[in-house]
């Protein structure tokens, strides 16, 4: 069956959020998204960290403003931690 557009968008959104947090906020690659408890917690925490950094509302949810910021062209150096 054709995938319903919303779920497809959701998939893309999650992909954007995960790759952004992995690139710039040290989200561990194997954060076990399928283990809803730990994986989700870490993603939410990282999302909150990113929202706090950019002065966005800290919701832990990929709201419009957060996604808008993630889509902005930017520097490839992470916002936290070292870049060696």
Partner 1 sequence: FTAGNPKWKKNNLTYRILNYTPKMRQADVDEAIQKALRVWSNVTPLTFQKVEDKEADIMISFAYRDHRDNSPFDGPNGQLAHAFQPGEGIGGDVHLDEEEAWTKDGRGYNLFIVIAHELGHSLGLSHSSDPGALMYPAYSYTDPSEFLLPQDDIDGIQAIYGQSDAAVQPTGPVTPQACDPNLTFDAITTLRGEIMFFKGRYMLRKHPERAETELNFISLFWPNLPSGIQAAYENVERDEVLLFKEGKYWLLRGYDIAPGYPKPIYRLGFPKTVKRVNAAYSDETTGKTYFFIADRYWRYDENKRSMDHGYPRKIASDFGKIGRVDAAFQKDGYVYFFHGTTQFQFDPRAKRIVRQMKSISWFNC
Whichever of 35 and 77 has its CB closer to partner 1, that residue is 77
Whichever of 4 and 75 has its CB closer to partner 1, that residue is 75
**Alpha helices, DSSP H, located in 2-35:** 5-24
Counting contacts by CB under 8 A, is residue 26 touching partner 1?
no
d(CA 79, CA 62): 18
What are the distances in angstroms from CA 17 to CA 1, 2, 36, 56, 63? Answer: 26, 24, 16, 15, 11
Overall size of the chain counted in residues: 84
Q: Which of residues 45-84 bind partner 1 (CB under 8 A)?
A: 53-55, 69, 72-77, 79, 81-84
Counting contacts by CB under 8 A, is residue 36 touching partner 1?
no
Binding site for partner 1 (CB under 8 A): 23-24, 53-55, 69, 72-77, 79, 81-84
């Amino acid at each position: 069956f054709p995938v319903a557009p919303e779920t497809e968008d959701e998939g893309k959104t999650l992909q954007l959020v995960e790759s952004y947090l992995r690139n710039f906020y040290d989200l561990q690659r194997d954060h076990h998204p399928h283990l809803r408890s730990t994986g989700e917690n870490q993603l939410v925490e990282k999302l909150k960290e990113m929202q706090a950094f950019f002065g966005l509302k800290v919701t832990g949810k990929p709201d419009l403003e957060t996604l808008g910021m993630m889509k902005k062209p930017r520097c490839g150096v992470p916002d936290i931690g070292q870049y060696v």
